[in-house]
Structures are given as C-alpha cells and as structure tokens.
Amino acid sequence: MNIVETSNRIFAQAVKDYHRTDNVDAPINNPYAEGTIEHDLYQKNWIDVVQWHLEDIIRDPHINPVDALALKRRIDRSNQDRTDLVERIDSYFLTLFHGVKPLPDARINTESPAWAIDRLSILHVKIWHMQEQVERNDVPQEQHDKCVAKLSVLHEQLQDMTTSITQLLEDYASGARIMKVYRQMKMYNDPTLNPVLYGKK
C-alpha cells in the first residue's frame, strides 16, 4: 500500500462525503474498519473539514456571544481530537519503521510523518473550497481570476507535498532519516498544568 496515495484518495473521499449534507452536526459514517490506518485517515479529514466550517461560522459578525463561546469551546475540543488522532497516526509509522536501523549519517526531520499528512489533509479541504469559489457566478471577474490562480497554486502544492511526503517515508524506510516522534505537551487542556484550572480547586 502506498500510504500517501491512499491518504490523498481517502481525504478527497471524506471531503466529498461531508459536503453531501454540508452540515457540521452531520454524523460521520466512516466506511473503513476501526483500528485501520484508513479509518484514522478518514476520521482525520472529517475533523478538518468540520472545523473549517466551524471557523467560518464563528466569524459571523452577528453571532450571539453565548453561541460564539459554545462554538469556541467546540473548536477547542476539535483541535484536541485532531492532535490525538495525529499522534495515533504517528504510532502507525513508528510501528511501520520500528525495525529500520538508521544509517550512520541519518538525519532528523523537523516534523513527524503524521503532522505532514495533517497538512496534506487540510490542503484537500482548501482545494475543495477554492474550487467552490471558482465556480461562483455572482462575483466580479477579477475575484474569479484570483481564485483560479490560487486554485492552481494549491494543486501544485498538492503535487509537491505528495512527492515530499513520499520521499520522507522512503528515507525512513532506508534509514536515511531517523523516525522520531515528540508527543504534544499541551498544557492548557490539562487541569493539573493550567493555573486557571488548578488554581480554582
């Protein structure tokens, strides 16, 4: 299995599936078996596309402040779910490359494979929504042309990211890079580390 090609296919599928209802409260219907990398990839993109729309909603200048606060809390939970899922995907790669012996001159990458795939997932969401803007017929020609140009750049970025992540994984497999993961250590969600939370006890 080419994991990068699989990721691209599943991300495109998940974005399309979400937009069948285009509803942030629509239940996810993950078509892949739980416990598989395919399931996690689909789940990852679903979180991203829902959060994209939550970020749109919260920017409504007329939103009720109470609703805005509830939405902000929902976005915070979504961000934590996203981080947890990225770390689970990294566990897949840690297992995949567990037996690889690094070469003497092996290098360390600035980000783990799953965080690179996280950016790939979000890129698919950007492409979908920029395509929507290109297809609008209620905007000036200048705005349409700018969106066409941006969409072209996004597609180029997709090609480049697909290539670079593939090369990164090849380096891990050959031992040219050291597979190393640092888990997120977010403190603001931890009631024992956030002073606003533990200070109230």
pLDDT in tens, the chain (201 residues): 799 999 999 999 999 999 999 999 999 999 999 999 999 999 999 999 999 999 999 999 999 999 999 999 999 999 999 999 999 999 999 999 999 999 999 999 989 999 999 999 999 999 999 999 999 999 999 999 999 999 999 999 999 999 999 999 999 999 999 988 887 777 777 788 788 778 865
Task: Specify if 169 maps to a domain.
Answer: yes
In angstroms, the CA 32 to CA 10 distance is 10
> Does residue 23 belong to any structural domain of this protein?
yes
The total domain count for the chain is: 1
Per DSSP, 176 falls in state S
* Backbone phi, psi, residue 108, to 5°: -110, 135
Asked if 82 and 48 touch (Cβ cutoff 8 Å), the reply is yes
103 within domain boundaries: yes
**Is 198 inside a domain boundary?**
no
> Is residue 163, in this structure, part of any structural domain at all?
yes
Q: Does 24 fall in a domain?
A: yes
What integer pLDDT is reported at residue 175 of this predicted model? 97
**Residue range of the domain that includes 44:** 3-192
Question: How far apart (Å, rounded) are the C-alpha atoms in residues 167 and 38?
Answer: 20
- The pLDDT score that the predictor gives to residue 201 is 52
> Is residue 200 one of the residues assigned to a domain?
no
Residue 146 lies in a domain: yes
